[in-house]
Structure 1
Amino acid sequence: MQDGNAIKSRKRSMLATFLILIVIPLTIACGILLLNDRKYYLISLLIIFYSMLPFGMVFEKRRPQARELIVIAVLCAIAVAGRAAFFWIPQFKPVVAIVIIAGVTFGAESGFLVGAMSGFVSNFFFGQGPWTPWQMFCFGIIGFIAGLIFHKNRLPKKRLILCLFGGLSTFFIYGGIINFGALLMWSSHPTREALIATYLSGVPFDLGHAVATVIFLAILANPMIEKLERIKKKYGLVESR
């Protein structure tokens, strides 16, 4: 039985990795190159569809219970509400912190799903555009990585370690990807000089975003993880990888 579960887990992991690291970036690239960045709603919905496939495999041959989906929905709602609540402070948003907490508690696939959904839904308040798929991928990949390295105690869920991961991932992963995406969105002929200028101009924003993530993780990580772990045990919620 354990061998069968291990095989299913490996298959789900391989599918998730393939979709997140290959299929989704290719989909975003096709949206830029083939659709001229005009079909961002379609690309966004495809990203959500891709992220739901490995998450759905967690439930194997049974239907998910409502309480198992409600927790994911609530985490998305908290991320969206938090982003809207701090709209008046540029880059000072709790979304990455909530996405990391989701990945740490429920696994990599859930972390990516919460990140992608939060980016898509919150942009109905902040404005949809060709940047939406990039933001969805950035939020999602951080949640995915958080699940890989923290879930099931692969690394200790200590406040300092979580804050360090959150700050570095926000600055280098989110900032690194979104700045590259911004260059492709606004320049039809990107150059190395333009890329360097884009990264340099983005440093203050990325740094502010990273500091915000550290602050929110320092405040929210321990109490939220503790409560989510308690809910997970009490109701026997199914976990992803």
Structure 2
Amino acid sequence: MSRRRVMTNILLVLLALGLIWLGIRLFQDRRYNLISVLMALSACVPFYYAYEKREGSIRRMVLLAVMTALAVAGRFIFAMLPGFKPVTAIVILSGMYMGAEAGFLVGSLTAIISNMFFGQGPWTPFQMFAWGIIGMIAGLPVMRNVLKRKPALIVYGIFTGFLYSALMDVWTVLSMDGTFNLWLYLAAMLRAAPVTIEYMTANVVFLLLAAGPIGRKLERVRVKHGIFDE
């Protein structure tokens, strides 16, 4: 990965964190719609910039739209099971086969688009960041190779189930009085343990089911059209 792309990824994460901080401190979590839109736009910046710089930009956009639609649809289909959804698995596969920026974009857009139906709120930016960072990590060059091994993929599925819950518990604590308290955070994580286990289980199940068929198709498209190469 080039130094420019590394810096782009770092700036993307810092920008997302900065926007979340802005929403909490300056707007007291009341302008969550504005913050969510700004985060979505910031996630798109690398692709807007690359649109005229690389070949296959339209193919990139279409494939990103398809993966985002799959993740949103998966959240709807499993709506009756709050913690058991294929969203994280699809975001991980997006990062694995399309790169870090694509993983962040699919994750963040999935949160804001699906929440148009599930309900927007101050939690939306946190969901956008949580799913976005999970997709970004999966899209790092070293991770893309490692995660193609089934044991590593299972471990990452378990880890991201914990990570998603841990990041969302930050919002849980901040929503109480606007400040972060470590003991409240640990208590929130402990209380959320059953749901966290459900997240972990769902990630492993859906990764094992989807990694083969979806992974083969994404790899075929990537090789055939020469897009999303590092």
2:205 maps to what in 1?
Answer: 215
Measure the CA separation in 1 of the matches of 2:51 and 2:158.
Answer: 33
8 Å Cα contact 1:12/1:57 also seen in 2: no
Question: What letter matches 2:156 in structure 1?
Answer: F
Q: Would the aligned equivalents of 2:97 and 2:228 in 1 still touch at CA under 8 Å? A: no
Q: Point out where structure 2 has 5 or more consecutive residues left out of the alignment.
A: none
Cα distance in 2, alignment partners of residues 58 and 225 from structure 1 = 24
Structure 1 residues not aligned, in runs of 5+: 1-5
Residues 1:131 and 2:123 are matched in the alignment: yes
- Match for residue 219 of structure 2? 229
> Does 2:168 align with 1:175?
no
Q: 1:38 aligns with which of 13, 30, 35?
A: 30
Q: Deviations over 1:82-137 (max 9, x none)?
A: 01100001210111000000000011110000000001101112110000000000
In structure 1, how many angstroms separate the alpha carbons of the residues matched to 2:210 and 2:78? 16
Matched to 1:232, the amino acid is R
| Deviation readout 1:132-174 (Å, 9 max, x if unpaired) | 00000000000000011433x2x25022211211111221x21
The separation in 2 between residues aligned to 1:193 and 1:160, in whole angstroms, is 34
Identify which of 21, 24, 37 aligns with 1:29: 21
Q: CA deviation at 1:214?
A: 0.5
Letter in 1 for 2:223: K
Correspondence for 1:143 among 127, 135, 140: 135
- Show the 5 A alignment for 1:1-241: 9-20=2-13, 22-59=14-51, 61-62=53-54, 65-148=57-140, 149-151=142-144, 153=145, 155=146, 157-171=148-162, 173-239=163-229, 241=230
Q: C-alpha displacement at 1:218, in angstroms?
A: 0.8
Q: Which amino acid aligns with 1:193?
A: W
> How far apart in 2 are the matches of 1:190 and 1:143?
26
Task: Please state how far the C-alpha of 1:60 moved relative to its aligned partner.
Answer: 5.4
SS of 1:92 mapped into structure 2: coil
- TM-score for the superposition, normalised by structure 1: 0.89
What TM-score, normalized by structure 2, do the two folds share? 0.93
Q: Is the partner of 2:29 in helix, strand or coil?
A: coil
211-220 or 56-65: bigger deviation: 56-65
Letter in 2 for 1:216: F
Gap change, CA 1:82 and 1:189, over 3 Å in 2: same
Look up the equivalent residue of 1:124 and give its one-letter code. Answer: M
1:12–1:54 Cα contact (<8 Å) kept: no
Q: Aligned partners of 2:147, 2:18: CA distance in 1, in Å? A: 34
Q: 2:100 touches 2:135 (CA, 8 Å); kept in 1?
A: yes
Most deviating of 226-235 and 114-123:
226-235
